[in-house]
Amino acid sequence: MSQQYPKQYLYKRVVQAKLFIDEQFSEKIDLDNIADEAWFSKFHFIRLFKTMYGNTPHQYLIKVRIENAKELLQKGISAADTCFAVGFDSIPSFTALFKKYTKLSPSVYQQQFKERQEQIQKVPLQFIPNCFAEEKGWTKK
């Protein structure tokens, strides 16, 4: 793979595009513009991005939005507010995509996360292999 794109600037352009998505995911991102800014044809940009990151820019943007949605849901933000905060403009499409990636609806994900956190607080030793807990002296408390 490394031999196919020997020129460092190619990497830097695509890396910059990826970092742009990482930072600006909540905005309306026009992937055509990103390809333009990276000085590639759209086709070449998508092909190179997929080679480097295993996803097309669009797939990657969705993944980043879903990952950030998970973090907001973990903080107790409502599913509707999360949807718009991470850059989706339709709650049904956000819910469908979230379910596709996580196998859970946003509200069920949030509820399960909350219950797990409560359980961690209540009985943390259930989440730690006993050998480590013993070494740390946590089992005697």
Partner 1 sequence: MITKLNHVSVFVLNQDSAYEFYVNKLGFKVHTDAAMGPGMRWLTVCPPDQPELEISLMAIEDGMMFKNGAAAQMKELVKKGTFGFGVFECHDLNATYEELKEKGVVFKKPPTKEFYGYEALFVDDSGNWFSLGEKK
Check binding of 23 to partner 1 (CB under 8 A). no
Single residue of 80, 81, 124, 130 touching partner 1 by CB under 8 A: 124
Check binding of 76 to partner 1 (CB under 8 A). no
Check binding of 27 to partner 1 (CB under 8 A). no
Rg (CA), the chain: 20
Query: 69: which residues sit within 8 A by CB, 6+ positions away?
Result: 82, 83, 85, 86, 94, 98, 106
Nearest residue (CB) to partner 1, 52 versus 91: 52
Q: Which residue shows structure tokens 């819910």?
A: 95
Query: 70: which residues sit within 8 A by CB, 6+ positions away?
Result: 102, 109
Question: Given the rule CB under 8 A, which residues bind partner 1?
Answer: 1-2, 5, 8, 11-12, 14-15, 18-19, 51-54, 120-121, 124, 127-129, 132, 134-138, 141
